[in-house]
Structure 1
Amino acid sequence: MEFSGKVALVTGAANGIGAGVARRLAAAGASVVVADVDDVRGEAVADEVGGVFAHCDVRDPRHSEAAVATAVERFGGLDIAVLNAGIATGFGLGDDFDVERYRTVMGINLDGVVYGVHAALPELRKRGGGHIVATASMAGLMAMPMDPLYGANKAAVVGLVRGLGPVAAADGVTVNAVCPSFADTSIITDIKSALESAGMPVMSVDDVVDAFVSVLRDGKPGECWFVQAGRPSAPFTFPNPPGPRTATGERVKLDHDPLITEEN
């Protein structure tokens, strides 16, 4: 069994992609901590996969720390952290802008990843390395005119993963993002019919879970894998911006240089 002996924490695991990842990892031998704010559904998923449930509001760093502690106390450590919790935005920057909702969305979609990484890294290092996989979105790789705020927090997750990847790799921790297009989860409930009417394919949760497994198998530090209908998932190839140069044009060499080419 591919993940036999491994311990995984999955946030946002009471339903959708998170539940799918928890099921797949458990079926492949992992011990899973199912973390979510939905106690009823979260406990049901934990029971189903033979894991343990941890109530976790990812907006609060103490909750992420407690979820990691649950993994250590119940299963002896942590090898994989899937930071998946996320919600839709549902408003823009016009008259519909909602400050309180904005803070909630950013707190879950961005802060939750930051707090999860911060909590997980020390335990992953104790195991000699491991994996962190954050759920981003195609909205983090391309312009999202229909929801620029969602695009902003997902782009921030992509930037975090790309910057952290080379640094964490020094400790044997591989950090990646999975960037799905529209998948059949509650996050698209309000727009699903419009997507289908426009001919936009809606992927199954299993399609996205397949990508998570591929990333855990083959992901390299800092890679962000796209997931789209009709094509195999793979790392997104970022166009390289001009790299840092001195006033006379020589390339500046940085510690933990990001994933850029010598031509920059």
Structure 2
Amino acid sequence: MEFDGKVALITGGANGIGAGVARALAELGARVVVADVDQERGKAVADEVDGVFTHCDVRDPESNQAAVGLAERQFGGLDIAVLNAGIATGFGLGEDFDPERYRTVMGVNLDGVVYGVNAALPALKRRGGGHIIATASMAGLVAMPLDPVYGANKAAVVGLVRALGPVLSADGVTVNAVCPSFAETAIITGFKDTIQAAGMPVMDVREVVDAFLAVLRRGKGGECWFVQSGRPSEPFAFGTPPGPRTADGERVAVRSDRLTTDQEA
């Protein structure tokens, strides 16, 4: 994929990774819709990239639908949906557990991706295909003791992307996740000193943005690309867990639309 004339919707586009992706795509010729709850910063980014801003609470399905509708009205369609909105939790599952905050975090980090995919799909299909990228995290690939609920959110996003990949590829829609390690964004503010004291590098946002562009250009459906300091980004190689077998010992494979055995494959 190249980007001249493409239309991109970016949730969580007011700052950090979302703003970086908006700037990068605009520089490459894309028309950009910046969607965020932060009106002041979101509008500033949209003005900077000659795009448009829309207030979007990704926890609300109708808000996602409205953002996609704006992209189609303003620029004639939608080619790329970057589902990037995300927040940290700031609590665990012990005495500090906050049920209200938990629902907010789940709403932004997981529901926002589900609702974003649901809203974007019809528009992408009207264009004959397109690309959806969800911002996951290395916390979705490895254990995240500092923030276990955040890790659970991101692991769910990874699982969703892997499941959707083969299904939506048939419609010309490529779905991927980008899984960054710690980057210089607001989401690490509460524990930045801790990770730096442990010797963990904090990446510049541009390193993550470059991975997004690589995924858009080369990603295949269902891939989850890791982004780690000091090494090139590439799809994470998931191990194959033990699978089910029939009473006769044949392996049962899960295809995009049905179950098959080795003999049928």
TM-score after normalising by structure 2 = 0.95
Provide the residue aligned with 1:77 in structure 2.
77
Structure 2 unmatched ranges of 5 or more: none
Superposed CA offset, 1:31-90 (max 9, x none): 000000000000000000000001000000000000000000000000000000000011
- Divergent runs of 4+, >4 A: none
Equivalent position amino acid for 1:35 in 2: A
Structure 1 unmatched ranges of 5 or more: none
Superposed CA offset, 1:130-154 (max 9, x none): 0000000000001112211111000
Superposed CA offset, 1:86-135 (max 9, x none): 00011000000000000000000000000000000011011111000000
Provide the residue aligned with 1:228 in structure 2.
228
Structure 1 CA distance, aligned partners of 2:60 and 2:24? 27
Structure 1 CA distance, aligned partners of 2:194 and 2:255? 47
Provide the residue aligned with 1:91 in structure 2.
91
CA shift, 1:250, in A, is 1.0
Residues 251-262 of structure 1: matches in 2 within 5 Å? 251-256=251-256
The question of whether the paired residues in 2 share the 8 Å contact of 1:110 and 1:157 is answered with yes
Equivalent position amino acid for 2:105 in 1: V
After superposing the two structures, state which structure 1 stretch, 238-247 or 129-138, moved more: 238-247
Equivalent position amino acid for 2:112 in 1: G
What is the aligned residue count? Answer: 259
Provide the residue aligned with 1:127 in structure 2.
127
CA shift, 1:255, in A, is 3.6
TM-score after normalising by structure 1 = 0.96
CA shift, 1:257, in A, is 7.0
The DSSP-based 3-state class of the residue aligned with 2:53 is strand
Structure 2 CA distance, aligned partners of 1:255 and 1:237? 19
Structure 2 CA distance, aligned partners of 1:254 and 1:184? 39
Structure 2 CA distance, aligned partners of 1:147 and 1:247? 42
- Residues 106 and 75 (structure 1), Cα distance of their counterparts in 2 relative to 1, 3 Å cut: same
Equivalent position amino acid for 2:67 in 1: A
Structure 1 CA distance, aligned partners of 2:247 and 2:105? 41
- Residues 128 and 198 (structure 1), Cα distance of their counterparts in 2 relative to 1, 3 Å cut: same
Equivalent position amino acid for 2:21 in 1: V
User: Does structure 1 residue 152 correspond to structure 2 residue 145?
Assistant: no
Residues 214-225 of structure 1: matches in 2 within 5 Å? 214-225=214-225
The question of whether the paired residues in 1 share the 8 Å contact of 2:83 and 2:133 is answered with yes
Identical columns (%)? 76
Residues 1-264 of structure 1: matches in 2 within 5 Å? 2-256=2-256
